[in-house]
Amino acid sequence: MAITGTEEYWELRLYIAGQTPKSILALENIRKISKEHLKARYTIEVIDLLKSPHLAEIDQIFAIPTLVRKIPKPLRKILGDLSNKEKVLIGLNIRSIAPADEK
């Protein structure tokens, strides 16, 4: 599973509001997808808007949970619990890194 050219590093930010079932599921799902498809080339920053509501303005967050791909550019956002793996892979544009049929 080689990437042509330079391997990209992924900086992800997950906005949640407390430990709700949807927030917990979103974090579990993005960790699983990242581990499987991005290997060790990513970080996930979790921002709890109940603790830091002012941070919602940075990425213009209007719904939660929201996943934001900061790097690589351009910025991309995915709303929801991230349970639709295909939607997450396409939304983050990481299908070229690891085909979905690889297991």
Q: What is the mean pLDDT of the chain?
A: 86
Mean pLDDT of 73-95: 91
When pLDDT is averaged across residues 71-75 and rounded to a whole number, the result is 92
* Tokens standing for residue 96: 């070229």
Can you tell me the distance from the alpha carbon of 89 to that of 33, in angstroms, rounded to the nearest whole number? 8
Residue 102, C-beta contacts closer than 8 angstroms, at least 6 positions apart: 1
> With a threshold of 0.85, does the pTM exceed it?
no
Given pLDDT bands bounded at 50, 70 and 90, which one contains residue 95?
low
For the cut 50, the answer to whether the pLDDT of residue 102 exceeds it is: no
Using the CB atoms, write b or e for 50-84: b if 16+ within 10 Å: eeeeeebeeeebeebbbbbbeeeeeeebbebbbee
The rounded percent of the chain whose pLDDT value lies above 70 is 84
Percent of the chain at pLDDT exceeding 90:
75
